[in-house]
Structure 1
Amino acid sequence: MARNQRADEAVRRIMQRLLATMAANEAGVRAGTDVECLHDFRIAVRRTRTLLSQTRGVIPQRERQRLSRSFNWLGDITGMARDADVYLLNFEAANNSKLVNALEPFHSYLQQQQQLTHQQLSKALQSARYAQLMTAWSGYLAVPVPVHSRLLHAHDAACDFANWRIWHMLRRVIRQGGVIDADSPPQALHELRKSCKKLRYLIEFFQSFYPETKVGKAIKVLKSLQDMLGEYQDLQVQQRMLAHFQQTTVITPVTQPTLTAVDGMMRKLAKRQFKVRKQFQRRFAGFMATRHQQRFKRLFKPR
């Protein structure tokens, strides 16, 4: 993309590439035979959701809100299926031979959850709602942008639009992270994680506008904070999954060794989560280091 290209044209081009990624992986997702297809499909959906949320004044408001609701629905479904894949893969990779027999009921539970979420996703991709979304989305993207648009930022230079949205999201990350302390609830870290993800996506969408080495360093320091927040969130979700399994044992009893092994996993996850939580202030301070913030400012602050 050219730096002086119209913002609505640049956004349209990014969205077309995301749609192409979804289309290239849809068959693999439907078949459920390749976890990487689901991963790539889901990332394209997530990126589309982010771009829709950041394009006020570039995409008509009614169209943007309607598409956002549909992609939020698709994102929720693909997220559940992808989470089930990841937790099953992580469990099998970390399987302790001493506990393999005791944890077999939990392993079976994870397999059932994976099968259930993939069935739900497959059903969703065969639904009229999904067909209507893809028809509307591909149809919208196939129509050239109007020569004269009344939308507020449609005629902005793409680089100026990118700087505006990236800088806005960067200030949100700084604001949210700056008020988190030892007493902040997990939800505060979760909200910061979502903002970091949006910021990274925005930078990656438009990274060709910036010097490769400098923007690469900016992404790297952001990713360090994002990885810590992501691990913290994953540990929370894994504990909730274990807790749900424990609830199912009321209906389908399991042996005491299984309950003991699951309790041990819960304690191990909670201990790791506590350690990760203690890393936050150091990671965020690293992100806020003067040299990094000066780089962000030189790259993205609107002129």
Structure 2
Amino acid sequence: MDLRTVRERLGEPVEQTRQAGVPGQVHATLDRRLRDLLDHDPGTRDGSDPEDLHQMRVAVRRMRSVLGENKASLDPEWTDELRAELGSLGRALGPVRDLDVLIERFRAHIAELPEPDQRPARALVTRLTRRRGSARRRMLAALDAPSYPALLARLVDTVNAGVPARQEKKKAKPAKPVTPKDVLARPHRKLRRAVEALGPEPADEDLHALRIKVKKLRYGTEMIRATAGKPAKRAVRAAAELQDILGEHQDACVAEEEIRAFLPNADPAAAFAVGRIAEREEAGRRAARDAWHPAWLRLDEATRALLR
């Protein structure tokens, strides 16, 4: 099934879902994110603008996250199968996007180095660009595989027919309007407990795990933003701020790992230049460590206001 056929089958955007309760919110979210995915598919294949791949990957992650966080209200077997298929697509897109981020990051650092250091430092970018070429070939092969159009067809069927809700043994009561507690209480509780478990100097991997929990809370808040009004918008902004800080920390950690892998085989000029980049990354990592907890307090306050 090509993209044109997918769009013809998809029809008009869902303005008012036919489903009530949490399944209705999930239905509307899948509709929006599927359209995002389709919008950025051509650009991802073309490769001229890295933002297309970024937005396509974000669409996949948001669909997978909203399904996982609301599994209690959905058909569990259907949810697990669809999340697994989305996970496979996300893993195909991820390596190229991660390398895009690193390459852009190092190029920005190199542009700020003294002129004599710029040329030897580019050896680091050349190394990453070769890896990106291999990762991109694997990504395109995944997009051309039969599993990808099969996933699109499944998503289209879901958007057209509605999300399969969990079947209750007892007679189901009429669905009530979705409240922030229905969507946000669980991810907020898990995030708060994770923060409380951290020591004064959290390990890098613990802060990365925290960022994943922040994203889940943010995606849930975005799902109800249209109905929850300004408090939800404030919570989304606070989540985005914390996510960005933790993302900067993670990017700096990954960059430092790449530098450590590069240095043993680098010539002296390249090693010196890239060492200066490492100093910048260490400074950025430390700044993010200083900033994340105040940002968490702002997010916690904004989310608590929604849950009152």
The letter for the 2-side match of 1:45 is V
Q: 1:53-64 to 2 correspondence within 5 Å?
A: 53-64=68-79
Number of the residue aligned with 1:256: 268
Number of the residue aligned with 1:173: 191
What is the CA distance between 1:166 and its match in structure 2? 0.7
Percentage identity across paired residues of the two chains:
21
Number of the residue aligned with 2:88: 73
Number of the residue aligned with 1:48: 63
Provide closer, same or farther for how the CA distance between residues 98 and 182 of structure 1 changes in structure 2, counting only shifts above 3 A.
Answer: farther
TM-score by length of 1: 0.84
The letter for the 1-side match of 2:124 is F
RMSD: 2.7
How many residue pairs get matched? 288
2:203 matches 1:163: no
Counterpart of 1:85 (choices 84, 96, 100) is 100
Q: Which stretches in structure 1 are left out of the alignment for 5+ residues?
A: none
Q: Which stretches in structure 2 are left out of the alignment for 5+ residues?
A: 1-15
Distance in 1 (CA, whole Å) between partners of 2:25 and 2:57 is: 22
Distance in 2 (CA, whole Å) between partners of 1:105 and 1:296 is: 45
The letter for the 2-side match of 1:241 is E
Number of the residue aligned with 1:103: 121
Provide closer, same or farther for how the CA distance between residues 74 and 245 of structure 1 changes in structure 2, counting only shifts above 3 A.
Answer: farther
The letter for the 1-side match of 2:147 is R
The letter for the 2-side match of 1:214 is P
Counterpart of 2:207 (choices 183, 189, 193) is 189
Distance in 1 (CA, whole Å) between partners of 2:181 and 2:246 is: 25
What is the CA distance between 1:155 and its match in structure 2? 5.6
Provide closer, same or farther for how the CA distance between residues 245 and 135 of structure 1 changes in structure 2, counting only shifts above 3 A.
Answer: farther
- SS class of match (1:159): coil
What is the CA distance between 1:232 and its match in structure 2? 0.8
What is the CA distance between 1:151 and its match in structure 2? 4.7
> In 2, are the aligned partners of 1:57 and 1:154 still within 8 Å (CA)?
no
2:22 matches 1:27: no
Distance in 2 (CA, whole Å) between partners of 1:220 and 1:67 is: 29
TM-score by length of 2: 0.83
What is the CA distance between 1:154 and its match in structure 2? 9.8
The letter for the 2-side match of 1:245 is F
The letter for the 1-side match of 2:63 is T
Provide closer, same or farther for how the CA distance between residues 149 and 103 of structure 1 changes in structure 2, counting only shifts above 3 A.
Answer: closer
Number of the residue aligned with 2:130: 112
> In 2, are the aligned partners of 1:10 and 1:158 still within 8 Å (CA)?
no
- SS class of match (1:33): coil
